[in-house]
């Protein structure tokens, strides 16, 4: 039998109240209910370490599901930095809501311990990506936007090209700026919005930015160019990819970013397939881990914890499937 209307109303009110409380811990919002990503520590661009080229002197700590870590992982991979920077993948601990090391690292079992050892504030979240210096025994930088700039200047093999050459700096900066708030953080602003108006604002901004990128790529294709700032992939492409590769798998079903499936933006669809095909990129992609982590860990958005079936990643990066 259907529960009485009064019971449904009460349950709704109680659930909403609890949901707001849970979201307060997970995803802080401003007075208008817009998600505001909390500031972290170690956010400044550090100087290039003197011992940057020494083998294994530094460790890049990433989590598979995190798009901010993914951009750093991509630069590490595209610039072939494995000789001087070890890669360490942490795993989520959904019960505790934090990252933990698979094996103890520098005597720590959680990222939060390592973060505090570096002088990080106890009240701030210990986030990935982080770059650890073995020599200095501290996190050098914990902000992906700066970290990718540092990795782009890291000593690399001559064939490992730079992803932000000075000649294209202006165009690259333009796209990075455009994507950071409205696309990269934009999907979170949709998913963590506390009310309809906050969601509408974030969702509109997200698809406006994607439409702009679509138009830019169509023009590039007409000129015979494949990338946002041509002629090679740049940091602008790098920062867009982690968000777009998760779109149908996570952000559309969980965060409500479903106005346009990517096949309706065909230049972006083709661009995503091209980027995925770059050497080393597929190794940074783990659709299973993304779906399990997002659907399993974001309890207030998805209380059942059920991981829904999703499209096959190989079809999402097949440029032949869309005209």
Sign of the dihedral through C-alpha 142, 166, 243, 28? positive
CB of 48 within 8 A of CB of 153?
Answer: yes
Q: Which of 110, 127, 133, 168 binds ligand GSH (CB under 6 A)?
A: 127
Between CA 86 and CA 78 the distance in angstroms is: 14
Residues ≥6 apart with Cβ < 8 Å to 198: 29, 32, 33, 34, 35, 189
Number of residues that bind ligand GSH (CB under 6 A): 12
CB of 4 to ligand GSH, least distance (A): 40
Burial tier of 62 (Cβ tally within 10 Å: 0-12, 13-18, 19+): buried
CB of 72 within 8 A of CB of 129?
Answer: yes
Pick the closer one to ligand GSH by CB: 53 or 145.
Answer: 145
CB of 242 within 8 A of CB of 67?
Answer: yes
128 lies in the binding site for ligand GSH (CB under 6 A): yes
Pick the closer one to ligand GSH by CB: 217 or 247.
Answer: 247
x/- map, 223-252, ligand GSH, by CB under 6 A: ------------------------------
143 lies in the binding site for ligand GSH (CB under 6 A): yes
40 lies in the binding site for ligand GSH (CB under 6 A): yes
Q: How far is CA 264 from CA 77, 183, 245, 272, in A?
A: 30, 17, 15, 13
CB of 218 to ligand GSH, least distance (A): 29
Element (H, E) at 145: helix 144-153
Q: Is the peptide bond before 129 cis (omega within 30 degrees of 0)?
A: yes
Q: Which of 46, 89, 98, 204 binds ligand GSH (CB under 6 A)?
A: 98
CB of 37 to ligand GSH, least distance (A): 6
CB of 41 to ligand GSH, least distance (A): 10
Stretch that binds ligand GSH, among 54-62, 142-150, 203-211, 215-223 (CB under 6 A): 142-150
| Beta strand extents in the chain (DSSP E only) | 58-63, 85-93, 98-105, 108-110, 130-133, 138-141
Pick the closer one to ligand GSH by CB: 68 or 269.
Answer: 68
Between CA 266 and CA 151 the distance in angstroms is: 31
Pick the closer one to ligand GSH by CB: 79 or 246.
Answer: 246
Q: Which of 49, 57, 120, 125 binds ligand GSH (CB under 6 A)?
A: 125
Pick the closer one to ligand GSH by CB: 98 or 134.
Answer: 98
Stretch that binds ligand GSH, among 75-83, 122-130, 231-239, 273-281 (CB under 6 A): 122-130
| Number of alpha carbons in the 13 Å side-chain half-sphere of residue 120 | 27
Instruction: Tell me the CA end-to-end span of the chain in Å, nearest whole number.
Output: 50
CB of 305 within 8 A of CB of 296?
Answer: yes
CB of 125 to ligand GSH, least distance (A): 3
Pick the closer one to ligand GSH by CB: 168 or 243.
Answer: 243
Stretch that binds ligand GSH, among 50-58, 75-83, 140-148, 201-209 (CB under 6 A): 140-148
Between CA 320 and CA 299 the distance in angstroms is: 37
CB of 306 to ligand GSH, least distance (A): 21
x/- map, 259-298, ligand GSH, by CB under 6 A: ----------------------------------------
Summarize as ranges the residues that interact with ligand GSH (CB under 6 A): 40, 66, 68, 98, 125-129, 143-145
């Amino acid at each position: 039998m259907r529960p009485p209307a009064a019971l449904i109303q009460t349950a709704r009110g109680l659930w909403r109240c609890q949901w707001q409380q849970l979201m307060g811990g997970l995803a802080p919002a401003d007075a208008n209910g817009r998600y505001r990503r909390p500031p972290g520590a170690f956010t400044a661009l550090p100087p290039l370490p003197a011992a940057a080229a020494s083998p294994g002197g530094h460790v890049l700590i990433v989590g598979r599901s995190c798009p901010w870590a993914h951009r750093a992982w991509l630069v590490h991979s595209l610039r072939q930095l494995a000789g001087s920077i070890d890669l360490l993948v942490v795993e989520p601990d959904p019960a505790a809501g934090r990252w933990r090391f698979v094996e103890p690292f520098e005597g720590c079992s959680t990222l939060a311990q390592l973060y505090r050892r570096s002088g990080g504030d106890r009240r701030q979240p210990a986030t990935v990506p982080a770059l650890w210096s073995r020599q200095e025994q501290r996190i050098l930088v914990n902000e992906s936007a700066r970290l990718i700039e540092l990795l782009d200047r890291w000593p690399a093999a001559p064939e490992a090209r730079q992803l932000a050459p000075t000649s294209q700096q202006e165009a690259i900066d333009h796209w990075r700026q455009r994507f950071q708030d409205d696309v990269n953080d934009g999907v979170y602003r949709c998913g963590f919005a506390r009310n309809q108006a906050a969601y509408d604002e974030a969702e509109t901004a997200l698809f406006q930015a994607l439409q702009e990128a679509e138009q830019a790529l169509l023009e590039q294709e007409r000129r015979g160019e494949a990338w946002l700032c041509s002629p090679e992939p740049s940091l602008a492409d790098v920062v867009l990819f982690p968000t777009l590769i998760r779109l149908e798998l996570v952000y559309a079903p969980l965060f409500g970013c479903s106005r346009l499936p990517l096949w309706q933006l065909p230049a972006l669809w083709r661009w995503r397939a091209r980027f995925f095909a770059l050497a080393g990129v597929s190794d940074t992609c783990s659709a299973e881990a993304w779906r399990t982590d997002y659907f399993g860990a974001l309890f207030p958005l998805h209380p059942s914890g059920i991981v829904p079936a999703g499209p096959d990643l190989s079809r999402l990066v097949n440029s032949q499937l869309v005209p």
